[in-house]
Structure 1
Amino acid sequence: MLRLSRLTDYATAALGWMAERPERIVSVADIAQALHLEAATVAKVLRALVQAGVVESFRGATGGYRLSRPPAQINLVTIVEALEGPLGMTDCAAGAACEHALHCGVSAPWQRISAVVAATLSRMSLADLARPVAQRRHKEIA
């Protein structure tokens, strides 16, 4: 079964929540409370997202985190790779050296499949991911 890690799932949830308030600087505690997650987990996810340039951090009493750019300009492949590492369905498709590469007949198809997945994630933005949540919340309020 192909599945993203729990940390990537938490990252997309946190980013979706942040995308609803893209200009606001939010704290780890804000996100943890809103999403019912442990603060340490949120902090770990945010560190990876800062390193990838998806969010920016601000120090001080009024510090915290906010998206580094509008949600429509943050693609999902960047988010996934920030938490999972290079995208690839197999190690060789992710660019890792393989001692069996010369004798393996399935490396090229897995590389093509990985490229399709990466292209799909590249075309989808955080705004696309967050839009259904925002629409659902709007309907609940109305």
Structure 2
Amino acid sequence: MRLTHLADYAVVIMTAAARGQASARLSATGLAEETGVPLPTAQKLMQRLAAHGLLVGQRGAGGGYELARPVSEISLADIIEAVEGPIALTQCSDGENHECVLDAHCRVRPHMGIVGAKVRGALNAVSLKELAQ
């Protein structure tokens, strides 16, 4: 399993945000400069992270973003799922109806949800606070 560039960049941005002062306003421009993430990508990710409740945006003069929750309450799983969607190791374990030539004979499919839950649990055990140290 490998993170996409977007998920990786989201982790980098959130980690940089966590290193800032509590309740400090964050800008996509500032985080892009600090992290090296291209500005359009940083803007896109910050909007997506805000839509998933990890950042709170304020418009207008003095606006920007701030973390929506304390860093100890944001997990690596939260960040990845905000960008990638639910963690699922195979297409058949994501809850969607995918056609697979092995469906009629597959004995592994019923167990892939268990594997995905364990992976999510491991990612959920890593807090943004730990990543920012």
| TM superposition score normalised by structure 1 | 0.85
Instruction: Report the residue type matching 1:107 in the other structure.
Output: R
Instruction: Tell me, in whole angstroms, the C-alpha distance in 1 between the residues paired with 2:79 and 2:107.
Output: 31
Instruction: Report the residue type matching 1:32 in the other structure.
Output: A
Write the deviation string for residues 7-41 of structure 1: whole angstroms up to 9, x where unpaired.
Answer: 11111111111101232101111001111222111
Task: Give unpaired runs (5+ residues) of structure 2.
Answer: none
Instruction: Tell me, in whole angstroms, the C-alpha distance in 2 between the residues paired with 1:99 and 1:26.
Output: 44
Instruction: Report the residue type matching 2:5 in the other structure.
Output: R
Q: Which has the higher helix share?
A: 1
Instruction: Tell me, in whole angstroms, the C-alpha distance in 1 between the residues paired with 2:127 and 2:93.
Output: 23
Other-structure match for 2:26: 26
Moved over 6 A (4+): none
| 108, 111, 114: which one aligns with 2:113 | 111
Matches within 5 A, 1:66-77: 66-77=66-77
Instruction: Tell me, in whole angstroms, the C-alpha distance in 1 between the residues paired with 2:2 and 2:107.
Output: 24
Give 1:103 shift.
Answer: 2.9
Q: Once superposed, what is the RMSD of the aligned Cα atoms?
A: 1.3
**SS in structure 2 at match of 1:104:** coil
Give 1:112 shift.
Answer: 1.8
Instruction: Tell me, in whole angstroms, the C-alpha distance in 1 between the residues paired with 2:75 and 2:10.
Output: 13
